[in-house]
């Protein structure tokens, strides 16, 4: 469970924050804010992906009946988790806002403000870890209900792959392929946990059960509060980077000019309109799946059109500018403005609200760049038997050599030992310790070549520029700095 010391510190502040912040948001936040819409889209993509998988599994009536009690337990567990998250939101908003306020002044952040924001962040992590552990305990029950063909289909399911397929059908174990509107699970989370151990399963196996009941984080006031928290966290990350770069007045003026000129064309169609279109298409897809057992052709067409528009003209969760030829030119222009030392800071930047203690030096704006592929690999190896770990590491190193060239026997063994040492460290950690250190450990064993699928020219410097320095929200922060540094 969550650290009792941390909970005690938080409890005294939460009660006084709830009424103030919920009332303020109810009065001030308009409906359909971009961050709120992005949150709804993420939820809907998970629901659509789950419903598509459940539909294609061809569950028998007996299987649905056996799934019902476990689906009810999953829904209750997730609802309890979301109530805990909702209870934390007012305190988190206040803590992150104080951190942002001090970071904005660029005079350092006080220890008590860092500690309070860090408490909230770590509590968020512990809540996620505890939920994952509770759901993982239910996996064997679900596996026992499914046939081997259905299990193979679940594990190979990819909402972003090619089209069609059912268990035992023409595509057999190769999975259902492209499922328009869905999204893949995060690294380290199995398909079964992400798509089947979800409240959506209850709606599928028993449409009458809680069909109209809202999950805690979907309540309008709570969703608005969550969107506000995400916005403040995003601002804090941006400020961490700006502070670490130590931009000169001339550099700030040049960056502002580029962003202001790009902004007129980039957002001409409106971020909110694009997000609303995508959300509405996903809502219709969910309705089709629940009532028709599949997505209607006209809904599929709408999903494709809104997703394409979304890719061109919106930023999910306010992540910044999208990648297109004009934007890549702007990235190059910003790179020319920065010094070699500043580009080095960008190359090491990993967004975080409160940087780890060993990264709070102003020159180091964030955590080291991570590799999500290796993070997922570590997650799997923590739980695998050691004989399987050793075989898998050997295969991983062999695969690396196919891409980067053959090593000598000594070099090969050194690489194997390097990976095994990090895996042993990961296996010795508690769930919470690993969640906090996963990115750092993944960085230690990151391969020296770009993994397959990475865009040509996609580097951490360009990524940070696109995400933060070409985001229009950087303008007020730079204006404020310039007002005190003409």
Whether pLDDT at 358 is above 80: no
Tell me, rounded to whole angstroms, the distance of Cα 291 from its chain centroid: 30
SS3 state of residue 160: strand
- What's the pLDDT band for 457 if we cut at 50, 70, 90? very low
Q: What digits encode the pLDDT tens for the residues 398-439?
A: 777 665 666 677 888 888 999 999 999 999 998 888 888 888
Residue 123's pLDDT is what? Answer: 92
Tell me the C-alpha distance between 437 and 423, whole Å. Answer: 12
Q: What digits encode the pLDDT tens for the residues 361-381?
A: 444 433 334 456 788 889 889
Among the residue ranges 89-93, 297-301, 391-395, the one predicted with the least confidence is 391-395
Q: What is the rounded average pLDDT of the residues 218-225?
A: 86
List Cβ neighbours of 118 (8 Å cut-off, separation of 6 or more).
354
> The pTM is what?
0.69
Q: What digits encode the pLDDT tens for the residues 114-150?
A: 999 999 988 988 898 889 889 989 999 999 999 999 9
Q: What digits encode the pLDDT tens for the residues 62-83?
A: 999 999 999 999 999 999 999 9
Q: Find out whether 312 and 297 touch, Cβ atoms under 8 Å.
A: no
Whether pLDDT at 56 is above 50: yes
Among the residue ranges 19-28, 125-134, 296-305, 409-418, the one predicted with the least confidence is 19-28
Tell me the C-alpha distance between 388 and 384, whole Å. Answer: 6
Q: Find out whether 55 and 207 touch, Cβ atoms under 8 Å.
A: no
Tell me the C-alpha distance between 202 and 212, whole Å. Answer: 12
């Amino acid at each position: 469970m969550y650290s009792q010391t941390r909970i005690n510190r938080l409890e005294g502040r939460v009660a006084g924050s709830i009424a103030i912040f919920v009332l303020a948001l109810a009065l001030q936040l308009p409906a359909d804010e971009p961050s709120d819409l992005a949150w709804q889209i993420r939820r809907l993509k998970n629901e659509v992906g789950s419903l598509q998988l459940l539909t294609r599994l061809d569950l028998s009536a007996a299987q649905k009946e056996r799934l019902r009690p476990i689906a009810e337990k999953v829904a209750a567990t997730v609802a309890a988790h979301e109530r805990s998250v909702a209870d934390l939101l007012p305190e988190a908003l206040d803590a992150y806002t104080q951190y942002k306020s001090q970071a904005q002044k660029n005079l350092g952040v006080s220890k008590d403000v860092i500690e309070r924001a860090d408490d909230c962040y770590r509590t968020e992590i512990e809540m996620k870890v505890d939920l994952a552990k509770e759901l993982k305990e239910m996996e064997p029950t679900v596996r026992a209900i499914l046939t081997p063909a259905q299990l193979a289909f679940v594990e190979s399911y990819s909402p972003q792959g090619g089209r069609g397929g059912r268990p035992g059908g023409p595509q057999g174990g190769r999975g259902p392929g492209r499922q328009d509107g869905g999204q893949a699970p995060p690294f380290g989370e199995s398909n079964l946990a992400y798509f089947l151990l979800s409240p959506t399963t209850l709606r599928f196996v028993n449409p009458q059960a809680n069909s109209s009941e809202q999950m805690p984080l979907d309540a309008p006031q709570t969703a608005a509060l969550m969107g506000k928290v995400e916005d403040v966290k995003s601002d804090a990350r941006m400020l961490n980077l700006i502070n670490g770069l130590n931009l000169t007045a001339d550099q700030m003026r040049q960056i502002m000019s580029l962003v202001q000129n790009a902004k007129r064309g980039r957002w001409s169609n409106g971020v909110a309109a694009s997000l609303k279109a995508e959300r509405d298409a996903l809502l219709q897809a969910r309705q089709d799946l629940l009532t028709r057992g599949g997505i209607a052709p006209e809904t599929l067409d709408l999903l494709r059109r809104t997703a394409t528009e979304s890719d061109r003209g919106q930023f999910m969760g306010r992540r910044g500018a999208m990648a297109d030829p004009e934007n890549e030119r702007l990235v190059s222009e910003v790179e020319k403005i920065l010094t070699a030392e500043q580009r080095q800071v960008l190359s090491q930047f990993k967004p975080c609200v409160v940087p780890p203690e060993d990264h709070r030096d102003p020159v180091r704006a964030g955590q080291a760049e991570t590799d999500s592929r290796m993070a997922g690999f570590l997650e799997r190896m923590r739980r695998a038997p050691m004989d399987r770990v050793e075989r898998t590491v050997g295969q991983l190193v062999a695969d690396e050599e196919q891409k980067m060239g053959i090593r000598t026997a000594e070099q090969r063994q050194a690489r194997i030992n390097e990976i095994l040492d990090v895996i042993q460290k990961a296996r010795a950690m508690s769930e919470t310790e690993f969640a906090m250190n996963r990115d750092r450990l993944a960085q230690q064993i990151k391969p020296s070549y770009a993994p397959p699928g990475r865009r040509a020219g996609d580097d951490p410097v360009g990524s940070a520029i696109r995400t933060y320095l070409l985001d229009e929200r950087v303008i007020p922060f730079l204006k404020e700095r310039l007002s005190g540094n003409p």
